[in-house]
Structure 1
Amino acid sequence: MRHPVFARIYARVRPQMDDHGAAEHRRRLLAGLTGQVVEVGAGDGGNFAHYPVEVTSVIAVEPEPYLRSKAEQQAVKAPVRVEVVNGTADRLPLESDSVDAVVTSLVLCSVPDQAVALAEAFRILRPGGELRFYEHVAAAGRMASVQKALDATIYPPLAGGCHLHRDTAAAITAAAFTITDLDRFDFPPTGFNPAAPHILGRAIRSEAS
């Protein structure tokens, strides 16, 4: 899966986004994690520095070659052990019921099928395991129309397959997760930006599933 232009732009812009507030979102996303974690769509490794030391290992899955190489560089500097591997959200290279947490960070917007990706996350999680998510999502009102128009035309090809108008919280619930914590906010908080609506939260795989 190659998006060479988008990957290079993202790797340049991501640190700037972190400096303007995204780093704090990443810290919130990962706070309190323990055990073995899988990060789906790790990008250039922007989350790695924020993993708490209680995490025993992170398997970071990234299909885009340029971003994967950048993630490998970040993994060396991470406070926890990180293994960067090639793979996609719809076919994770892990056994069922094998990890304590799955992290998605600005990736469920770009997977071909959210239901398939979330089913894979559900599959590899141990019963009672956590899904941590930080995603930009569908807006309401007039902005929703703008998002839909962009999704139908130029945005996915320009943005590495990203779609703006996805109700990711509803998709998580539909995948049989129970959302236990959900924060909605705009980032950046001001200005006209179709990608501003975000969610950040946690969901649990049922013990009985």
Structure 2
Amino acid sequence: MATAVSHPLFARIYPRINAFAEAHGSIEHRQELLAGTHGRVVEIGAGTGANFAHYPSEVEQVVAVEPEPRLRTLAEQAAAKAAVPVEVRAGRAEELPLKDDSFDVAVFSPVLCTIADVPGALAESKRILKPGGELRFYEHVRSERPSFFRLQRLLNPLWGLLGGGRHLTRDTERALQQAGFAVKDVRRFDFLINGRPRLPLHHRNRPPVH
């Protein structure tokens, strides 16, 4: 399987999207996601490396896997400024270039909404996690409100075209359970900008591996 995925338009606009999101609350979401991480961490789909500044000192090393070359270059720049050691590698979630049972924590943020083979990616993350390790995620997911979900379905094709293959309507929690993860903690919320919800919904989870 190729290690590169090219989304040149999305890769150019995503830093601006991320900066806007960080100005409206996503920094706090990332800090919540990463609080309590420790040991060796693999970040799958690291993007620009926006999480790197928020890993706590208990983290010994972050191995960040990113297939998009433009985003990977930005991630390497962010890694050089991180307070914890970060190694950025090329690779895809469906075929991680990493050893079995070698990480304490796996992080997806936000990338499961873009992956074509979600079961394959989750199987890979389970393979590389140590027994008792945990997976955390911060993702776009389908709404539990019928009217909002209908709007998500309507916008999904355009969102995928402009957003590097992103999906608004995935049931990530169910996918985790089907992959053999036990869902321990999950929080769903609207991403609010100036008090108004913006598509899509996000949620965070910390399921331990069986």
Deviation at 1:147, TM superposition (A): 1.6
Structure 1 residue 150 corresponds to structure 2 residue 155: yes
Q: How does 1:13-92 map to 2 (within 5 A)?
A: 13-92=17-96
Q: How does 1:119-198 map to 2 (within 5 A)?
A: 119-139=123-143, 140-151=145-156, 153-188=157-192, 190-191=195-196, 193-195=198-200, 197-198=201-202
Q: What is the alpha-carbon distance in structure 2 between the residues aligned to residue 90 and residue 32 of structure 1?
A: 26
Q: Which amino acid aligns with 2:179?
A: A
Instruction: Answer whether contact 2:190 2:197 (CA < 8 A) is retained.
Output: no
Q: Structure 2-normalised TM-score? A: 0.94
Root-mean-square deviation (CA, aligned residues, Å) is 1.2
Instruction: Answer whether contact 2:37 2:59 (CA < 8 A) is retained.
Output: yes
More displaced stretch, 140-149 vs 73-82:
140-149
Deviation at 1:192, TM superposition (A): 5.3
Unaligned 5+ segments in structure 1 are: none
Q: Which amino acid aligns with 1:7?
A: A
Unaligned 5+ segments in structure 2 are: none
Q: Structure 1-normalised TM-score? A: 0.94
Q: Which runs of 4+ in 1 moved over 6 A?
A: none
Q: Which amino acid aligns with 1:105?
A: S
Q: What is the alpha-carbon distance in structure 1 between the residues aligned to residue 39 and residue 199 of structure 2?
A: 36
Percent identity over the alignment is 51
Instruction: Answer whether contact 1:101 1:129 (CA < 8 A) is retained.
Output: yes
Q: What is the alpha-carbon distance in structure 2 between the residues aligned to residue 198 and residue 69 of structure 1?
A: 26
